[in-house]
Amino acid sequence: MTNKDVKFCTRCLYSNKHALGITFNGEGVCSGCQIHDEKNQLDWKFRLEKLKKIVRPYKSKTRKNYDCIVPVTGANDSYYIVHLVKNILGLNPLLVNYNKYFNTPIGISNLANLRIKFDLDIIFKNVNMRSVKKITKYSLLEYQNIYWHILAGHTVFPLEVSIKHKVPLIIWGAHQGLEQVGMFSHKHEIEMTRRYRHDHDLFGTEADQLIKLENELKEEDIFQYRYPDDSTINSLGVRGIYLGNYFRWDPTNQHQMMIKKYGYKSAKLPRTFDTYDHIDCFNYMNLHDYLKISKCGYSKVTDHVCREIRHKRITREQGINLIKHYENIKIENLDIFAKWLDVDSNSLNFVLNRSKNEEFWQETDINKFEFKGPSSYFPKLSEVNKNEINYNLDMDFVSTNKIDLKQSTRKYILFGKGIE
Ligand SMILES: [Zn+2]
């Protein structure tokens, strides 16, 4: 990739290389920034009233069933979503959680506290670990991805519960395609689709495609991840709506509110300044993020920076320095992952090297790569005082806890017991 191939938004720091696809207007402003502007233009009171009308028919009249299903984790807006569903919309949700197995103590603690503070029913799905490991090993080797089972499980389990309990309404937080790249307007009121899950969450790979002659995966390993068929979905009228279309979505503010109101815990992660997202997982901001920059040419910190620029909490100049700083930070916990998956470090290194996309990495020697991704073409800006950046971020992003890496607790919490 050369300087000529890359085009940056004139407002945020996304480029035309964004994995979800991005477009630019005549002034060079990206589709994500244009849709973000709607947040300051829409009549949110009107939109809330509209949402109340949408959910009203789903309220159980006899109170003998739940009003809706809400997928939750020990991080990622879960508290705010449940707060809106229970306290603002007045619904009685059934919470569902898919066990991702890479759980941090803080994620388990957040999930336990969520159940206690909101006092709601919750169902957990623990797919047997043998199948999860087989899937993870295969998706890592074949697609350089360790998150397939998590995204597949997190998106299919709510539907399973919805169908089983005959609760047709599923409520999600914000839509990633809308928030990041403006794939839709808020006014389109986009709903959950099989198609988006297939194309983006599962990078085009459905459960059935995992079974191959050359691997050990069998029907009993993958059936848990198969999306229900259309006739089942349609006969019950299952629909999944996104709260981001009806509330002005601002994850940073929301998390800060949840810390104060409900004791949500936050923590410093190695490869980003955001202390609220993804703190429930040992791998998301480590190996998973490393694979993201290897394949897509940018890391999660770019997503966080662009969001903060759009909300006018940091400048573009600060964003450039933040991305350059965090993108290069070494990943941690690889040894725990290798042990859990029972792979040796040579195989893991082989996969890491193989994950380097030629478009963004140039091999300069055997297994030595030079980064040529978008951030290496950032416009040259005047030096910003790095201390000032760190100071500002420490002020804004609260860490209530540490991801505890003491030897005794430095392992995945496989099944959460609701411990403090
Ligand atoms: Zn932009």
Q: CATH number of the domain that 197 lies in?
A: 3.40.50
User: What's the first-to-final CA gap in the chain, in angstroms?
Assistant: 48
Predicted model pTM = 0.94
- Give the pLDDT band of residue 214 (cuts 50, 70, 90): confident
How far apart are the C-alpha atoms of 274 and 304, rounded to whole Å?
7
Q: What angle, 0 to 180 degrees and rounded to 10, lies between the N-to-C axes of helices 129-143 and 334-341?
A: 120
Residue 214 belongs to domain spanning: 44-245
Instruction: Assess if residue 280 is contained within a domain.
Output: no
Instruction: Assess if residue 291 is contained within a domain.
Output: no
Choice among 115-119, 145-149, 342-346 with the minimum mean pLDDT: 342-346
Instruction: Assess if residue 390 is contained within a domain.
Output: no
Give residue 9 CA to ligand 1 midpoint distance, Å: 5
Give residue 190 CA to ligand 1 midpoint distance, Å: 21
170: helix, strand or coil: strand
Amino acid at 354: R
Give residue 180 CA to ligand 1 midpoint distance, Å: 9
Instruction: Assess if residue 304 is contained within a domain.
Output: no
Give residue 279 CA to ligand 1 midpoint distance, Å: 26
Per-residue pLDDT averaged across 130-140, rounded? 95
List of residues 6+ apart from 316 with CB closer than 8 A? 11, 12, 13, 309, 381
Give residue 337 CA to ligand 1 midpoint distance, Å: 35
Instruction: Assess if residue 51 is contained within a domain.
Output: yes
Question: pLDDT averaged over the chain?
Answer: 92
Give residue 300 CA to ligand 1 midpoint distance, Å: 15
Instruction: Assess if residue 234 is contained within a domain.
Output: yes
Per-residue pLDDT averaged across 292-309, rounded? 97
* DSSP one-letter string for 182-250: -SS-GGG--B--HHHIIIIISTT--GGGG--TTS---HHHHGGGPPPPHHHHHHHT-EEEEGGGTS---
pLDDT of residue 213: 82
Per-residue pLDDT averaged across 405-414, rounded? 65
How far apart are the C-alpha atoms of 253 and 56, rounded to whole Å?
28
- The count of C-alpha atoms lying within 13 angstroms of the C-alpha of 417, restricted to the half-sphere facing its C-beta, is 1
- Give the pLDDT band of residue 383 (cuts 50, 70, 90): low
How far apart are the C-alpha atoms of 137 and 133, rounded to whole Å?
6
How far apart are the C-alpha atoms of 65 and 59, rounded to whole Å?
9
Give residue 173 CA to ligand 1 midpoint distance, Å: 21
Give residue 232 CA to ligand 1 midpoint distance, Å: 40
Instruction: Assess if residue 70 is contained within a domain.
Output: yes
Total domains in the chain come to: 1
Give residue 206 CA to ligand 1 midpoint distance, Å: 31
Flag whether pLDDT at 404 surpasses 90. no
Q: In this predicted model, which residue has the larger pLDDT, 364 or 410?
A: 364
- Give the pLDDT band of residue 387 (cuts 50, 70, 90): low
pLDDT of residue 346: 86
Q: Closest by alpha carbon to 14, among 185, 180, 186, 251?
A: 180
Flag whether pLDDT at 419 surpasses 50. no
How far apart are the C-alpha atoms of 94 and 133, rounded to whole Å?
28
pLDDT of residue 394: 54
pLDDT of residue 392: 58
Give residue 182 CA to ligand 1 midpoint distance, Å: 9
Proportion of the chain above pLDDT 90, given as a percent = 80
pLDDT of residue 417: 62
Instruction: Assess if residue 419 is contained within a domain.
Output: no
